[in-house]
Amino acid sequence: MKQRSIVVMLLLFLFTFGIYPLYWYIVFQMELKEKTGEGFGGFLHFIVTILTFGIYGLYWQYAAGKRLAQQGVSDNSILYLLLGIFFPIINPFLMQSQANQIL
């Protein structure tokens, strides 16, 4: 998976007025699917999230935590699910931080 700086992600989030997280969401899922072979492709994943009014996005955050754990990092799937419900803006940074730990 691609290494991304959390600080650069935060700056892109601020300067693109929230558009960068949508891009990250699609690209991260494509990378995760390539690594694990599980889930939808990136753009279809985005469409399904929209069609389910974000419910699939909550499930995906849980599942992405499980898939990241399969790659050798700690299992934060429950944390991602809870943050997805209450503070969804934090999850991309936490997920990317875990992905950066994967060699």
Give me the torsion for CA of 68, 31, 99, 81, rounded to 10°.
-50
Token reading at 67: 């898939």
Query: pTM score, two decimals?
Result: 0.91
Q: Which residue has the tokens 């936490």?
A: 94
- Using a pLDDT cut of 70, give the percent of the chain over it: 99
Instruction: Report the SS3 class of residue 17.
Output: coil
Asked whether residue 1 is assigned to any structural domain, the reply reads: no
What's the total number of domains in the chain? 1
What DSSP state is assigned to residue 62?
H
Asked whether residue 48 is assigned to any structural domain, the reply reads: yes
**55-70 and 19-36 helices, crossing angle to 10°:** 50
- Quickly count helices (H) and strands (E) in the chain: 6, 0
Low-confidence ranges of the chain (pLDDT < 70): 103
Asked whether residue 63 is assigned to any structural domain, the reply reads: yes
The residue segments making up the domain with residue 95 are: 6-101
Question: How many Å apart are CA 81 and CA 9, to the nearest integer?
Answer: 21
